[in-house]
Amino acid sequence: MKPLSKIAAARDALMPAWTGLQQRIKRLLALFGDRYDARGPRLRALPMKHLRLMLMADDLPQASLTLAETEQFHPDPRPPQQQQLGQQPGRDYQEIYQQARARLEKIARVVPIDPLPALDQVQVIAPEMLVRVNDQLGTRWEEVSRFEEIQRRLDEDERTIHEQELALENFANLNLDLGALRNKTRFLDFYIGLVPRENVNRLQGAVALADHLLFTYLQRDTTAHVIIVGPTGEKEQQLQSVLSSAGFQALEIPHSLAQQSPAELKQDFIRRRQLLDRERADCVAAIAAWNQTHAAALLEARRTLLLAEPLVMLNPTIRGTGSLAVFSGWAPAQAVAALEQQLHHSLHFPFALEVRDPTPEERSLVPTVVTTNPLLRPFATLVQQYGIPHYGEIDPTPLFALTFLLMFGMMFGDVGHGAVIALASWLARHRLQSFAYFGIAAGGSSLLFGLIFGSIFGVEDWLPALWMAPLHDPILMLKVALLWGILFIVVACGLGIYNRWISGQRQAALLAPHGAVNLLFYLGFIAGGFGLAQHGAFGLWPALIVIGSLLTLAGYQWRHLSGPTGEKLLVVFIETLDTVIVYLSNTLSFLRVSAFSMNHAALALAIFTLAEMLGSFGTLLTLIFGNLFILVLEGGIVMIQVMRLQYYEGFSRYFSGDGQAFAPLRLRA
């Protein structure tokens, strides 16, 4: 074979491996790159552009729909600088939409409306069409509110029957002709009824002024049953007005009360209840019939409102003058060209689109595209509990995921327990949804560290450890944790410096707490500590670095404080001391990583010791419940401890979390 052929053959053989390597490198670079793919893991924020669209007001509904279809436009609510653009052309549209939507929601409270099928075609909702739908919904709501009123009246009637029953039961033991209370006599005026309890006292005083007496004979929940008795005469009219002010509700006494036996009365109440049930059934049937007639119209109204919504969402940002309208927003840089093309296709009138980069002053207003990668989503949710990355900040999600899994695995390393967590998450994947990945990954990490520690359900004899069991050399474990902590804090500080630098806070990146000088102090401090541990001396250079950096930090703080000199001195002294204490305690805080790995082994040991003390059945029970205890309680505690390390030792150094998520206009169908 010729040398050239050999080279070609070798190249062909190596080509697949080379291509694979190239793809891996590309994927790695993409973490820092500009590629727009919200599903991909990304450390750097996706570059955004500020868009300002000037168009004819008649094209506003179409423009909003087009932008919603692209799902790439996040409205910017700031008013324009130009004084002339004082009008808000979409205001009426918004008012009508909101009224129509409220009406539809109220109708849906009484009449079930079918869910909207997928939109087959997107259509512009002109203001006139929205007004028409709103008017139709107004009429529909008027009709439906009658059903609601009937239902309320039926509820009220049912309550009255119940109260009447109670009242008559109450009177049953009295030797009293209740029939006589039904009507006024020549001289006496009777009222039997219900009053809200909080009104009884005042009503008692008020009826006394009209020469009447009020007796309360029963109190239930918020209602009191009362009898009001007084002489007939001119003050009767006064009383009527007071009674209605007090929310008095008369209880009707049946005509035949005196002649009816208790059993007959009971039958009478049953009959009245049946009547109510019939009325209720009739009402339900009437609602169903009404729905059958109007279901299609309601669905159409829902569709109309859905298509009108983008313009309403856009409305607070729209300004204009005459027939010209202007609004602005943010879009991913990669999506701008496609977005402009879509606008060219859809708008009827000419428009102008101004595109520019965000200025340093408006960085805090630029939205951040949050990752939607299914594997990272549960981790992103946990990150977002702390906050949304500021535009330009490193998105901590991939790093968070990696370090979370490493720490969880090390603190809870066990093949058996890890496998159980992963399996349980897999089995419950439909219920847990994206959090299933989280459980599987955490279980997997625990399983891998279990192999490293040679631990399965706490037993350390069954598997050969790839490294060693945690209790085999606790000091080494603590050293590893300490090193991990130092690395973690250094990386966190580095990210903090980077975040401030790229957001233009260069002085703060160098001199503020957790800045470059602070990092220098920490490195000097660690070097000094290492020297102290190894050679018994802190060392000259580390001491100089520590003192120099602390003085620099103190000087920076002094410059940024205002107040009397004594107060400034005190604050600077305490802050500087705090820096030393915080970095020392934060580093020691990572010892918990190894402490929990040893704790896991020790807990398992305790359970085995306990199990050995019992009979075979007791052993079995202790082992099962002991392992469940470790899984649930220790697993939960480890999870909390890892979160604590991430939030306090990590995020507080580099992640401001005060950004806003990219929330583009979209059709909510």
Partner 1 sequence: MSAAAHAYLNTRVSIMATRLLAADRVSGLATQELSELSDRFGLGEVLDAQLPTHAKSRAVEQALIQSLLAEVNVLIRPMNAVETALVLSWARKFALFNLKALIRGKLHHLEPSAIRDHLYDLPPRLRLSNQALFRTENVLELLRELEQGPFSLIARQAREVYEQKREPFALEATIDQRYYAELMRQIMQFQGASLQPLRQLFGAVLDRVNLLWLLRFRLTYQFSPSETFYHLIPSPRLLHRERLLALVNLDSLPQVLEVLPPPLGQLMADADSIIEVQRRAGRHLVTEARQILSQSASGVARALAYLILREMDLATLLTLIQGQLLGLPVELVSAALDQAAPEAVTIH
- Residues binding partner 1: number (CB under 8 A): 30
Please count the other Cβ atoms lying within 10 Å of the Cβ belonging to residue 539. Answer: 18
For position 143 contacting partner 1 by CB under 8 A, the verdict is: no
Residue 99 or 619: which CB sits closer to partner 1?
99
229, amino acid identity: V
Tokens of 509: 């990146």
In this chain, which stretch among 203-211, 352-360, 417-425, 453-461 interacts with partner 1, using CB under 8 A?
203-211
Q: How far apart are CA 603 and CA 601, in angstroms?
A: 6
Q: Which residue has the tokens 């929601």?
A: 105
Q: Which residue has the tokens 């996040």?
A: 74
Residue 245 or 585: which CB sits closer to partner 1?
245
For position 305 contacting partner 1 by CB under 8 A, the verdict is: no
For position 192 contacting partner 1 by CB under 8 A, the verdict is: no
For position 228 contacting partner 1 by CB under 8 A, the verdict is: no
Residue 205 or 618: which CB sits closer to partner 1?
205
Number of H helices, E strands in the chain: 22, 11
Q: Is 667 exposed, middle or buried (0-12, 13-18, 19+ CB in 10 A)?
A: middle
Annotate each residue in 80-119 with x if it binds partner 1 (CB under 8 A) or - if it does not, as one string.
---------------x--xx--xx--x-------------
Beta strands 367-368 and 352-356: pairing type?
unpaired
Residue 222 or 261: which CB sits closer to partner 1?
222
Interface with partner 1 (CB under 8 A), residue from 23, 84, 232, 245: 245
In this chain, which stretch among 193-201, 286-294, 368-376, 642-650 interacts with partner 1, using CB under 8 A?
193-201
For position 316 contacting partner 1 by CB under 8 A, the verdict is: no
Residue 139 or 433: which CB sits closer to partner 1?
139
For position 244 contacting partner 1 by CB under 8 A, the verdict is: yes
Tell me the helix, strand and coil percentages in the chain, rounded to 5: 65, 10, 25
Q: C-beta of 197: minimal distance to partner 1 in Å? A: 11
Q: How far apart are CA 410 and CA 388, in angstroms?
A: 28
The three-state secondary structure class of 331 is strand
Q: How far apart are CA 352 and CA 439, in angstroms?
A: 50
For position 213 contacting partner 1 by CB under 8 A, the verdict is: no
Residues 247-286 that bind partner 1 (CB under 8 A): 247
Interface with partner 1 (CB under 8 A), residue from 46, 181, 206, 228: 206
Residue 154 or 610: which CB sits closer to partner 1?
154
Interface with partner 1 (CB under 8 A), residue from 97, 141, 449, 521: 141
Exposure string of 417-456, with b = 16+ CB inside 10 Å and e = fewer, is bbbbbbebbeeeeeebebbbbbbbbbbbbbbbbbbbbbbb
Q: Is 393 exposed, middle or buried (0-12, 13-18, 19+ CB in 10 A)?
A: buried
Interface with partner 1 (CB under 8 A), residue from 87, 145, 160, 652: 145
Query: Are the C-beta atoms of 656 and 392 separated by less than 8 Å?
Result: no
Residue 40 or 247: which CB sits closer to partner 1?
247
Instruction: Note the residues at the interface with partner 1 (CB under 8 A).
Output: 95, 98-99, 102-103, 106, 138, 141-142, 145, 196, 198-199, 202-203, 205-210, 235, 238-239, 241-242, 244-247
